[in-house]
Amino acid sequence: MASFSLFISGREADEIFEGQVHLYKHLFAFFDSLCLKWCVDQSIPNIIHSHGQPMTLHKLVSTLKVPLAKVSGVHRLMRYLAHNGFFDMVKINQDEEEKEAYALTYVSKLLVRGSDYCLAPMVDLMLDPTFSSSYQQLGKWIHDEGNQTPFAVAMGTDIWDFLSKNPKQMKYFNDATASDSQIINVALRDHGVIFEGLESIVDVAGGTGMVAKYISETFPHLKCIVFDLPQVVKNLEGTNNLSYVGGDMFQSIPKADAVLLKWILHDWDDDNCIKILKKCKDAVSSSNNKRGKIIIIDIVIDDEKQDQPEITLAKLQLDLAVIANNGKERTTEEWKKLFMEAECHQDYKISPLTGHMSLIEIYI
């Protein structure tokens, strides 16, 4: 057994202590997700929102009907969430006393169900044991000589086949993508120029059409088509300039002046992305004689290290999230390579869209 010298310098000791804290921070990082799931499952953001003002611990546990023996536990969970920025601890006057109370932050406001920009469905999806169990299989997956995804290793089937046979998880998936689309709509308000000159657009794998609805309402002259699997768009009703079409993007895509791919390509490996892009190119180039384009909303990992560390971390975490089904987030060079192999690299540009998402326009 290797010996460990007791004669270490003060600097070495500081490094050991710092290393221990860093290790423990990541070792216990699963509490971040589990406390967040607890908070959303208990509807705490909605409870505080409905209360109309910051809420004391006494009022919160009373509303939750928490047994007296568990009040301390709620306090400790809320303290942790407040430390992580989900709640603010403020002082309020109540019964002629100053008391501590929990207030919503700009983060927890995104977890209020029924609000315009609610991301609680993303919590439902990503922290559902069906999906999170995939990441318990990374060791087995990395040594598997086959081409199975971590999800397939855990569940015995790929994610798309699983979703088609499990309505509950399919609803989680559709609700999560719809909630993310609400945020995209906020960003598109300042990018209306990308739709100028277009008469038609196809939202490929557009789900229930959250983004397409916004586009069709904002640009009533624009014909919008939501294109997704038949079981996804079944029974969905359109409007005078919004329609739903069922099909398979690997077979063919409806013709239009532009094709929109919102957070789609990150779900697929390079070979499948090239197939999708070629189908998009066919749909645009054959729609009419004028120039069309493919609009991609996705993540671009910063290979020049210009992003803030928190943004880079979010992008890298999302890259690991899609590894469960063989997807990937791509750097600028990886996007360029993809466009070249799909033969649509002649004219494109990448612009920032949201904090971590980019807008890519490929002109055909």
Domain boundary among 72, 93, 111: 111
57 close to 75: Cβ distance less than 8 angstroms? yes
Please provide residue 166's backbone torsions phi and psi, each rounded to the nearest 5 degrees: -130, 95
The residue with greater pLDDT, 129 or 225, is 225
Residue 309 belongs to some domain of the structure: yes
* CATH at residue 261: 3.40.50.150
**Does a structural domain hold residue 5?**
no
Residue 78 and residue 135 share a domain: no
d(CA 203, CA 264): 10
Residues 6+ positions from 96 with CB-CB distance below 8 Å: none
Q: Is the pLDDT of residue 49 over 90?
A: yes
Per-residue tokens: 311: 């943004």
Surface-to-core class of residue 276, CB atoms within 10 Å of its CB (0-12 exposed, 13-18 middle, 19+ buried)? buried
Quick check: is 191 catalytic?
no
Give the domain range for residue 229.
120-363
| pLDDT at residue 287, rounded to an integer | 57
How confident is the model over 109-135, as a mean pLDDT? 92
Same domain, 73 and 158: no
CATH number, position 31: 1.10.10.10
Which of the listed residues 79, 94, 111 is the one where a domain comes to its end? 111
Band of residue 5 on the pLDDT scale cut at 50, 70, 90: low
Catalytic residue among 22, 83, 191, 266: 266
pLDDT tens-digit map of 195-239:
988 999 999 999 889 999 999 999 999 999 999 999 889 889 999
Note whether 65 and 137 are same-domain residues: no
